[in-house]
Amino acid sequence: MDDDLLTVLVVEDEESILLALEECLLQAGYHVETRKTGRDALEVAQQHRPDAVLLDVMLPGMSGFEVCRQMRAKGLTMPVIMLTARSEEFDKLQGFEVGADDYVTKPFSMDELLARLKAVLRRGRLQQKAGRKYQFADVEIDLDSRAMTRAGAFVELTRTEFDLLVYFIENEGKALSRDLVMNDVWGMEYLGTQRSLDSFVANLRKKIEVDPHRPVHIQTVHGVGYKFSLR
């Protein structure tokens, strides 16, 4: 196996879709692992640490949402793209709440999927600038190890949460529109809604604010979006 190849874990119980995804990813130059159940997927994610996971929502037994939630609970932070058969906003929001980075709705084109995958993988590499740390209140962020501690204790952030937090810090004091944030953090490929950004912000607030309902760091600017404050 070539060490430079990025590994994508595909979790999908429908054989035809699984094979199509595997073929497409192999042709695009990825190394591919495939699994058909959530339980197997969790095991592979923990043992092999794939670079990204494509995760079907409707799996027999454990749902894709539950798989994603458990991955995050185990400290696995690689990007996860949910494959959902339903397009309801509820599903998307639930996906973001359990820590997914993006989603595609079936039927999706392979081009669209590859673009999303490239985007989530690229975002993680963007922030790998050397030797920098950020600190505010009792929060410390190490850009090299992509780790966050709060009052000295390690706090798990997903890749997207980390990128979003660093983006806020680097734009401290500016009122940022939701469109601008989504464009800068997710890139032009992102088709999510403003409410999905709000879900990420809600997750981040739980991790960095003393009182997530009265945030002092990630403030809401009504009619605009958000403003980050170091105070």
Binding interface with Ca ion (CB under 5 A): 13, 56, 58
What whole-number distance in Å separates Cα of residue 107 and Cα of residue 175? 37
User: What would the two tokens of residue 223 be?
Assistant: 């009619």
Between 29 and 60, whose beta carbon lies closer to Ca ion? 60
Would you say 108 or 154 has its CB closer to Ca ion? 108
Task: Reply yes or no: is the peptide bond before residue 107 cis, omega within 30 of 0.
Answer: yes
CB of 68 to Ca ion, least distance (A): 14
Q: Would you say 15 or 138 has its CB closer to Ca ion? A: 15
How far, CA to CA in Å, does 153 sit from each of 66, 115, 147, 156, 207? 26, 36, 10, 10, 11
In the bound state with Ca ion, the residue whose beta carbon lies nearer, of 110 and 169, is 110
Shortest separation between residue 57's beta carbon and Ca ion, angstroms: 7
Nearest to 176, CA basis, from 195, 230, 184, 158: 184
Please identify, using beta-carbon distances, which residue of 73 and 85 lies nearer to Ca ion: 85
Tell me how far, at minimum, the Cβ of 84 lies from Ca ion, in Å. 10
Query: Shortest gap between Cβ of 42 and Ca ion (angstroms)?
Result: 16
The C-alpha atoms of residue 30 and residue 51 are separated, in whole angstroms, by: 10
For Ca ion, the nearest residue by Cβ is 58
Minimum Å distance from CB 64 to Ca ion?
8
Question: In 3-state terms, what secondary structure has residue 167?
Answer: helix
